[in-house]
Amino acid sequence: MEGNSRLTFHYEEQPEQENKACPFSVEETDGRPVTAEYQSNQPNKAENTVQPIKLIVKYANLEQETADVLSAPLLARKVDLNSLNVTKALRYAAGDRFSKLFDLALNGRTSLKAGSLFEMPVGQESYSLNCKFVILIALERWNGATGSSVTDLKKGICDLLGKCNSKNVESVAMSAIGTGIALAFPPEVAAKIIGEELKNFVVGNPNTSIKQVQIVTTQLPENQAIFIAFRETLCAIDFGNQIIVCNEQGVPFPRTQLGDFVHKQIGNLSVSVVYDDIVKETTNAIVNSTNFKKWNKGSVAHSIFSVTGEEVIREAQRGHKSGKKVVMTSSANLKCHWILHCDCEGNIETLKHLLNDLFKLCDETGLKSLSLPAIGTGECMLPPKRVAETMIEAICSLARKQNICLLNVRLIAFTPFIYHIFCTELQRLF
């Protein structure tokens, strides 16, 4: 296999088995066992008198959790407990008295200001919930990275933490707020907002009463990507020694390291998922996902074109204007030999056709190794799980063919949660 890694991580992402979404064995490449490197924000007991807040990511049902506060979203424009699955589950678990309390607190309103809190004290009477308060956050549907929905979620989380602190609350359990079908926040965006708001809150309130925040995701296969996104996005935030991201036993999740990979042999085809930067690849060719017009900082196209320079850009654009779906250019000063430029147009069906075109071109030109990014998961914002399914299924179909030229395919992810989603899909199929 081209490229080396100090560690080989074998992953087991199993939503049907709680808290199994982490490496279950770690080996050095020479076979000697080693201990996984945990994230650097573990508490140093010798230096800290204040215990860090436990930020727990877990599979669970919110309505069954035990905490001082349970928190979930509400649709700001349609204030109804039945509008979202999480509030519907709370209503069902708590019974008719909870619904009546909700209606009483609503006081005839049919909408709420986005970003505002809706508080329900439930600790003095029996509502079959193991909490003192239910605090809901009114939100609008996701309307883009610079839209008002982001500001609303930030305000809601900030105000929630402030209210919990003012009530001397020690524990909070919340759903993966905003990530359902109705609100449609990308999980990694919601996770980053929640993590950064918690970090900012703790910086401003170092002696807060809050000791534990749980983020729970219902244990269903379709929620696996949400769980992974929250776990990996939160692990990537530098919380210092004030917060640890951990499972419910308090064990910090391992931090994903550059160069980590998983590998499968499918017939004669070697397939790897790698956490690294695609511009470092030494395969015969790398794939550049681009619209051939403009690219934002942080995108695959920006990373590649920033290194290759203007001549490769012009070469790629000339090929695209001539009608080619996949444009093969020189690699300038990259370590690979060629670059294959293509545009998925933000469409899964187009991606399927592009993958066939890419593999066909590899056969026609005699390429034996190819590195691909997670095409469409960046600026096109295609769902990472759908992209992983599509790309790995295409690779499997390729492996079943006779006399293929490609011997080595590497799927390169430069974001931890996308890396883990691709790992999960590869393990699922094999």
pLDDT above 60 (res 5): no
Q: Which fold has domain 261-429?
A: Leucine Aminopeptidase, subunit E; domain 1 (3.40.220)
Parallel, antiparallel, or unpaired for β 243-246 and 53-59?
parallel
Strands of 243-246's sheet in order across: 117-121, 133-139, 69-75, 171-175, 212-217, 53-59, 243-246
Could you write out the DSSP letters of every residue in 184-243?
Answer: ---HHHHHHHHHHHHHHHHHH-TT-S--EEEEEE-S-GGGHHHHHHHHHHHHTS--TTTE
- 398 near 361, Cβ under 8 Å? no
The per-residue pLDDT for range 298-319, each reduced to its tens digit, is 899 999 999 998 999 999 999 9
- 180 near 74, Cβ under 8 Å? no
- Sheet strands (E) in 254-386: 261-266, 269-275, 285-289, 326-330, 338-342, 369-373
Within a 13 Å sphere around the CA of 258, how many CA atoms are in the beta-carbon half?
6
pTM of the model: 0.83
Cβ contacts of residue 188 below 8 Å, gap of 6+?
A: 229, 233, 415, 417
Give CATH 3.40.220.10 domain extents, the chain: 53-246, 261-429
Question: What pLDDT is stored for residue 127 in this prediction?
Answer: 76
The per-residue pLDDT for range 194-227, each reduced to its tens digit, is 999 999 999 999 999 999 999 999 999 889 999 9
The radius of gyration computed from the CA coordinates of the chain, to the nearest angstrom, equals: 24
Q: Rounded CA gap, 305 and 310, in Å?
A: 7
Q: Rounded CA gap, 38 and 152, in Å?
A: 33
Question: What pLDDT is stored for residue 17 in this prediction?
Answer: 40
pLDDT above 80 (res 126): no
Within a 13 Å sphere around the CA of 167, how many CA atoms are in the beta-carbon half?
19
Of the listed ranges 40-49, 71-80, 120-129, 174-183, the least confidently predicted one is: 40-49
The per-residue pLDDT for range 321-331, each reduced to its tens digit, is 999 999 999 99
Q: Rounded CA gap, 358 and 398, in Å?
A: 11
- 40 near 236, Cβ under 8 Å? no
Question: What pLDDT is stored for residue 63 in this prediction?
Answer: 95
Question: What pLDDT is stored for residue 73 in this prediction?
Answer: 98
- 188 near 149, Cβ under 8 Å? no
Percent of residues, the chain, with pLDDT higher than 90: 80
What is the rounded average pLDDT for all residues in the chain?
A: 88
| CATH class entry, domain 53-246 | alpha beta
